[in-house]
Structure 1
Amino acid sequence: MNVDLFDFDLPEQLIAQKPLQERTHARLFALNKTTKEMKHDTFAHFIDYLQEGDVLVLNNTRVIPARLYGKKRETGAHGECLLLRNVEEDSWEALIKPAKRFKVGTIIDFGIEESQSPLLTAVVTEEKEMGLRTLRFSYEGDFEAILNQLGEMPLPPYIKERLEDRERYQTVYAASDQAGSAAAPTAGLHFTPALLEEIKNKGVHIAYVTLHVGLGTFRPVSANTVEEHEMHSEYYHVPAETAAILNDAKSQSRRVIAVGTTSCRTLETVASKLQGEPFKEMSGSTDIFMYPGYSFKLVDALLTNFHLPKSTLVMLVSAFAGRELVIDAYEEAIREQYRFFSFGDAMFIF
């Protein structure tokens, strides 16, 4: 399947550069994949599309300030480092630019003050493809505190404006003990505590999974065909409480609604592994890649944002609703001047 089938022309001015002042003021594109009806709404009315008994599954990962700027100790050459995944203890998988300068054994210093030792030091312990490196960090004190001091929120490259409030690139339900993402699960950025409370009061069950968003979610597709693309693995966890909620919902044929492609990938990963067996607490790594032809096993409806042309995320959405319908919907959204990508508007497919 040619990657160009998932291409579309997107005016640059529709790429949202900053979050709206109020989270729920985003627009909502409602798409019925059966009737093909398209409706334009606002996210404040998202609750109107939910039914009593629905299960809304949220990814409670927390974004870390994963972008670091350092210097090669030997030469002083500058490098940009994006932390992607905690491999073990103080070792991290990272994307480094320019990668060719940073070979195995290279020492990188971060947070260098005049006449003082660096706050953070890393040594390259492994070279991987596409600029990936494994780094082993050394420091004094608390790594998370140092990262909060030195790191920047890892906004995607298409966002040029500075983010004044770091919390606007976090969901309101991001768990402090689930920090580890290099990007936000952006479909969840539209929720507020008040809206979540209204949703609960309607009789909707809210469940949480964790997927630490890394390279697998936003790595561009460089292959000519969809089938040639390889996904990078990402850590996921489904707690026992969520497994129980899912088992109860499926036994009663109630809808499971994934908030975001990351929640969707987590749920479908677990459903694929269990092959019809009851859900249970599970953790692991997933490199699941969903594109047209994939048969969904658990997710009945999907809330998501508008994604990049030719991205794996557009392919996932196309797998869920059909490629032609999704491309038609995207063209309608462009005509209607919807805001795209991380700080953009939402689409609910049911």
Structure 2
Amino acid sequence: MKVSEYDFYLPEELIAQHPKKNRDESRLMVVDKETGEIEHKIFKNVIDYLNPGDCLVLNNTRVLPARLIGEKENTGGKMEFLLLKRIEGDLWETLVKPGKRAKIGARFSFGEGELKAEVQDIGEDGSRIVKFEYKGIFEEVLDKLGQMPLPPYITEKLEDRERYQTVYSKEVGSAAAPTAGLHFTEELMNSMKEKGIKICFVTLHVGLGTFRPVKVENIEEHHMHSEYYTMSKETADIINETKENGGRVIAVGTTSCRTLETIGDNDGKVREQSGWTDIFMYPGYKFKVVDIQITNFHLPQSTLLMLVSAFASNDIMMNAYDIAVKEKYRFFSFGDAMIIK
């Protein structure tokens, strides 16, 4: 399969620069994965496509304010750090701009010395392994000094950084938001519970590899980034019970989907588990756990577009994307949503 099969024309003005005023009033495209039939709704209508006894699986990761602006000690040169993942303790994998100033042993300061960093090593991909120095609790220092790591295609300033968090975010550790979940409100979730729809949570900490393009022509040669996930016994029990009773499992976002399909066995059963996943789903993949997907509109030639094309089909999904462009849906992180049923 060629990466060019997952390309499409996207006018720049369709890339959403800010979230809708009300989370659940984004548009919702409804796609039938068997027939390709398409309906146009508002996100709060998503409840109409879920039945009592179904199970909604949400990713409760919380985004770190992982973008730090500081300066190089001795020279005062401005530097930008992006925290990718904690290796252990105060040792982090980071992206640094400009990288040529961040040699091993180089030291940097943030917030007038409230936080300091020293480069310990350089990764094969150019990332920097950095050790941070501070007083107090790291997360509190980061919350004070850090900025939200918005994707590069969002160029406007975000006034309220909680809008880049889901209303149910809890477990801190992501470098990007699980954006399909941004459409949910507490009111909508309560309405779902009242209808008899079960809600449970997994955690997958989203890495910036999510935004990396596929650089090989044959997609089967692409190596996926790995991300940390965890599923509790409570969530596993709810999902297994749902399956046993004939209910459907709805993955909210590709991150929830990746977690469920990593853990699921050939019978569609899941269990309490945590670890790292580099699962890569593209057409030909057989889904074991997920029955319905709720997702946003993804970048051309991205692994996320390949995942949803595996769930429906490449023809159905690329047609849906062509229609989304014609109908002027809003794309990417702050954009509109799709339910594939």
| TM-score > 0.5, shorter chain as reference | yes
Is the contact made by 1:23 and 1:189 (CA closer than 8 Å) also made in structure 2? yes
Structure 2 partner of 1:39 = 39
Counterpart for residue 285 of structure 1: 276
Question: Hey, what's the Cα distance between the residues in 2 that align with 1:277 and 1:266?
Answer: 13
Q: Distance in 2 between matches of 1:221 and 1:132?
A: 19
Cross-structure match for 1:143:
138
- 1:343 is matched with 334
The code of the aligned residue for 1:105 comes to G
Aligned residues: 341
Residue 252 of structure 2: aligned partner? 259
Seq. identity, %:
59
Once the two structures are superposed, residues 116-135 of structure 1 have per-residue CA deviations (whole angstroms, 9 ceiling, x without a partner) of xx111111122113331221
Q: Is the 8 A contact 2:263 2:273 kept in 1?
A: yes
CA RMSD in angstroms comes to 1.3
One of 191, 194, 219 as aligned partner of 2:187:
194
1:119 aligns with 2:114: yes
For the 8 Å contact 2:268–2:289, the answer to whether it is kept is: no
User: Which aligned segments of 4 or more residues in structure 1 are displaced greater than 3 angstroms?
Assistant: 274-278
* Residues 1-350 of structure 1: pairs in structure 2 closer than 5 A: 1-112=1-112, 118-175=113-170, 178-271=171-264, 274-276=265-267, 278-350=269-341
- Which letter does structure 1 place at the counterpart of 2:92? W
* Alpha carbons 1:97, 1:131 under 8 Å: kept: no
State how far apart, in whole Å, the 1-side matches of 2:214 and 2:102 are. 24
Tell me how far 1:74 sits from its aligned partner.
4.2
User: In the TM superposition, what whole-angstrom CA distance separates every residue of 1:107-146 from its partner, at most 9, and x where no partner exists?
Assistant: 121112xxxxx11111112211333122111101121111
Structure 1 residue matching 2:13: 3-state secondary structure: helix
SS of the residue 2:335 aligns to: coil
In structure 2, distance between residues paired with 1:131 and 1:199: 45
Decide whether the 8 Å contact of 2:69 with 2:79 is kept in 1.
yes
Q: Distance in 2 between matches of 1:341 and 1:288?
A: 22
Distance (whole Å) between structure 1 residues aligned to residue 244 and residue 26 of structure 2: 34
Q: Distance in 2 between matches of 1:58 and 1:278?
A: 17
CA contact (8 A) 1:31 1:37 kept: yes
Cα deviation code 1:212-247 (max 9, x no counterpart)? 111232222222221222111111000110010111
**1:220 is aligned with what amino acid?**
P
Structure 1 range deviating more: 96-105 or 201-210: 96-105
Distance in structure 2 (CA, Å) of the matches to 1:40 and 1:277: 31
Structure 1 position 172, deviation (Å): 0.4
Q: CA deviation at 1:279?
A: 2.4
Listed as ranges, the gaps of 5+ residues in structure 1 are 113-117
Partner-residue secondary structure (3-state), 1:246: helix
Unaligned runs of 5+ in 2: none
Matched-pair contact (CA < 8 Å) for 1:124–1:134: yes
Structure 1 stretch 91-100 or stretch 9-18: which is displaced more?
Answer: 91-100
Q: Is the 8 A contact 2:268 2:288 kept in 1?
A: no
Q: Matches of 2:246 and 2:84 in 1, distance apart?
A: 37
| Mapped partners of 1:278, 1:42: distance in 2 | 32
Contact kept, 8 Å, 1:216 with 1:287, in 2: the verdict is no
Q: Which amino acid aligns with 1:97?
A: K
Supply the distance in 2 between the matched residues of 1:47 and 1:186 (Cα, whole angstroms). Answer: 18
C-alpha distance 224-278 of structure 1, shift in aligned 2 (>3 A): closer
Q: Deviation at 1:277?
A: 8.0
Deviation at 1:97, TM superposition (A): 2.1
Measure, in 2, the Cα distance between the counterparts of 1:22 and 1:51: 24
Q: Distance in 1 between matches of 2:38 and 2:268?
A: 36
Contact 1:256 1:298 in 2 (8 A): yes
Is 2:295–2:337's contact at 8 Å kept on the other side of the alignment? yes
Whichever residue aligns with residue 202 of structure 1, its letter is K
Specify whether residues 74 and 227 from structure 1 end up closer, same or farther in structure 2 by C-alpha distance, changes over 3 A only: farther
Cα 1:126/1:276, change in 2 over 3 Å = farther
Whole-angstrom CA distance in 1 between matches of 2:187 and 2:61: 20
Distance in 1 between residues matched to 2:269 and 2:283, nearest whole Å: 26
Q: Give the superposition deviation at 1:275.
A: 4.3
1:115 matched residue in structure 2: none
